[in-house]
Amino acid sequence: MLENFKKIQFKMPKKFSIWHIVIAFGFFILLQMYLMNPGMRNVSYSDFKRLVKDGMVLECHINRSTVRGKLRETERGTTRNTIFVTARVEDPELIKDLESMGVKYEGQYESPWFKTFFFSWVMPLIILFVIWRFVFKRYGPASSIMTFGKSRGRMYVQEDLNVTFDDVAGIDEAKEELQEIIEFLKTPEKFRALGGKIPKGVLLVGAPGTGKTLLAKAVAGEAGVPFFNMSGSEFVEMFVGVGAARVRDLFSQADQKAPCIIFIDELDALGKARGVSPMGGHDEREQTLNQLLVEMDGFDSNKGVIIMAATNRPEMLDPALLRPGRFDRQVVVDRPDLHGREAILKVHIKEVKVEKEVDLHAVAAMTPGFVGADLANLVNEAALLAARRNKKAVGMSEFEEAIDRLLTGLEKKKRLMNKKEKEIVAHHESGHALVACSVPHADPVRKISMIPRGIGALGYTLQKPTEDRYLMTRSELLDRLAILLGGRVAEEIIFNEISTGAQNDLEKATEIAKLMVKEYGMSERMGVVTFEQGDRPLFLGGGFAASREYSEETAREIDLEVKRIIDESFGRVKKLLTEKKEILLGMAKQLMEQEVIEGEELKKLLEELHKATEEKK
């Protein structure tokens, strides 16, 4: 994203707004006024008569509605001639006055029709046209009304990429997942012969600056194939149909260069779920999106064209984009952890001279929450500081100062957590994990992390299912509920207050409780009945009230039952975590130090903490 300097320079406002037209119109009116009466002074008729009597009027032209003429004016000792105009009043005396003062006067016939016509119609049209042309010149070469739909013969390809996987660090899981794609692009014939199935579309999901664009380029670089780069927002143009034409163009160009990669940045800009906008949809975006879907469906992936796209809001995407045969493979590009950050720093430090004493591990430890782009920025900033201080190499003090500067900026932009938030997140996640380790029917915890993942979550606790589950028992569901509530209860116990961070957990918990009551017949009070037909409509947000097959009263009872289940679980978790408060505190402390605790480590830590609390007793 950062390299496209050339593009940025030519960036234009993307859309005509009504204001452009209003401003242009106002401009014409002023212009017209000026053309019709240049530098004229308006005087009232009475003033005009006085001026005539004072002998200041030199000459005048009288027509049906106005009197214009030349006027002598004295101002601070200098005299000069000005042109004046006044509205004509029926005044038989005027000619007499003019005669008596010896003013030269003449009548005038109506100004010829073509003059009026020219100034008020032809001229503005010409000017409008000139501006129109000017605007389109800037939009792109050789564009005119006739050709701009054809995306002006623009080539999207960037062939001379020398980005490789060595330039991408700290996101090894994502790299691994893309390895197969590289193999395929290198030798498509081999895959074809084996009948292997290759994904058409790969969606890279991750926060801004985590290196999604870089990763896509590296895949192209590693495979040695052309890279077609386009941003989703570029597709959404001011005229309906242009975006769709561009998509068509892009794919036909890619087709000729296969094997290759098409990369669409900011996919959410054009792939937002259709029909959710309050204005009733966005025609242009929809058309473009439809065209993209058509092209993706029509593409034979065996040809060797892989479509990669990046987004940081996968939940906003139109579900149609994620169907099989489209972006059916998702690769999560996480924020780097401690080791990852060190590795990324190593990549970027290559072009900078650093002092020997600089400890990149320490720098990485000081920058939790930084993404790749922030770290690249950090190295750059430190180098600039060193240059300003006339140093030969970048030292630790420059890094520290650069971190301070970036930290304030990033915290303002809400990309980093402050200390208090970190504490809350650490205890919240520890709460989830501790409950998961304590209840009998939970999957083992694989990882606790307080590095934000995706967009919504500030931290996360990963459980590894021991087997694929199709059936769950009531006690298993209750345990799952307890784990979900663990985060919030931990916050309550430790800080005696609760934050907004648990909202998603609560939603999920409520969902489970509802399912238990309404569909699985797992509530004692409501009995073994299912209140919901299996097939629920998949509308976004479920705006339409699904037809209910039970009475108001039953609905109320269901709600009460759901609440009871949740309340009971709350009580259970609260008891559990209060008993293990010491362990919870220990876990959170360790998590804050390490940011990430993996499964094995967690086991050991728990054993140690157990022992420690036993001894205290």
DSSP state of 392: S
Which H helix or E strand runs over 373? helix 372-388
State yes or no: is 429 an active-site residue: yes
CB of 447 to Zn ion, least distance (A): 14
Query: Quick one: three-class SS letters along 435-490?
Result: HHHHCCCCCCEEEEECCCECCCECCEEEECCCCCCCCCCHHHHHHHHHHHHHHHHH
1 is a contact residue toward ligand ADP (CB under 6 A): yes
Six-digit token pair at 368? 């939790």
Active-site annotation holder among 429, 492, 561, 595? 429
In angstroms, rounded to a whole number, what is the distance separating the alpha carbons of residues 114 and 116?
5
Beta bridge partners of 460: 449
Q: What is the CA radius of gyration of the chain?
A: 37
Q: Which residue has the tokens 């017949």?
A: 521
DSSP state of 109: P
Residue closer to ligand ADP (CB basis): 168 or 450: 168
Contact region with Zn ion (CB under 5 A), list: 10-18, 72-80, 228-236, 498-506: 498-506
Which H helix or E strand runs over 27? helix 18-36
In angstroms, rounded to a whole number, what is the distance separating the alpha carbons of residues 114 and 120?
10
Residue closer to Zn ion (CB basis): 410 or 498: 498
487 is a contact residue toward Zn ion (CB under 5 A): yes
**What is the per-residue binding string for ligand ADP in 297-316, x denoting contact by CB under 6 A?**
-------------x------
**Alpha-helical segments (H) within 299-371:** 338-349, 360-365
**Alpha-helical segments (H) within 528-596:** 552-579, 581-594
Residue closer to Zn ion (CB basis): 285 or 432: 432
Choosing among Zn ion, ligand ADP, none, which partner's interface includes residue 369 (Cβ < 5 to 8 Å by kind)? none
| Binds ligand ADP (CB under 6 A): choice among 205, 250, 376, 383 | 376
229 is a contact residue toward ligand ADP (CB under 6 A): no
Query: Quick one: three-class SS letters along 220-253?
Result: HHHHCCCEEEEEHHHHCCCCCCHHHHHHHHHHHH
CB of 217 to ligand ADP, least distance (A): 8
CB of 168 to ligand ADP, least distance (A): 5
Contact region with Zn ion (CB under 5 A), list: 99-107, 338-346, 486-494, 602-610: 486-494
Nearest residue to 461 (alpha-carbon basis) of 435, 433, 489: 433
- 617 contacts: CB under 8 Å, gap ≥ 6: none
User: Ramachandran region of residue 280, left (φ > 0), alpha (ψ -120 to 50) or beta?
Assistant: left
What is the total count of residues that contact ligand ADP (CB under 6 A)? Answer: 20
Residue closer to ligand ADP (CB basis): 258 or 267: 267
In angstroms, rounded to a whole number, what is the distance separating the alpha carbons of residues 173 and 315?
22
Choosing among Zn ion, ligand ADP, none, which partner's interface includes residue 487 (Cβ < 5 to 8 Å by kind)? Zn ion
Contact region with ligand ADP (CB under 6 A), list: 20-28, 210-218, 256-264, 322-330: 210-218
Angle between helices 581-594 and 419-438 (to 10 degrees): 130
| Binds ligand ADP (CB under 6 A): choice among 86, 143, 213, 367 | 213
230 is a contact residue toward ligand ADP (CB under 6 A): no
| Binds ligand ADP (CB under 6 A): choice among 49, 175, 212, 488 | 212
| Binds ligand ADP (CB under 6 A): choice among 43, 182, 292, 344 | 344
CB of 439 to ligand ADP, least distance (A): 37
Contact region with Zn ion (CB under 5 A), list: 232-240, 347-355, 365-373, 502-510: 502-510
**What is the per-residue binding string for ligand ADP in 345-364, x denoting contact by CB under 6 A?**
--x-----------------
Residue closer to Zn ion (CB basis): 374 or 491: 491
368 is a contact residue toward ligand ADP (CB under 6 A): no
Choosing among ligand ADP, Zn ion, none, which partner's interface includes residue 225 (Cβ < 5 to 8 Å by kind)? none
Contact region with ligand ADP (CB under 6 A), list: 184-192, 209-217, 275-283, 467-475: 209-217
- 571 contacts: CB under 8 Å, gap ≥ 6: none
Which residues, 133 to 192, sit near ligand ADP by CB under 6 A?
168-171
505 is a contact residue toward Zn ion (CB under 5 A): yes
- Please report the beta strands in 267-340, taking only residues with DSSP state E, as ranges in sequence order: 305-311, 329-332
In angstroms, rounded to a whole number, what is the distance separating the alpha carbons of residues 411 and 413?
5
Judged by the rule CB under 6 A, the positions of this chain that interact with ligand ADP are: 1-2, 168-171, 206, 208-214, 310, 344, 347, 372-373, 376
Active site positions, annotated = 429
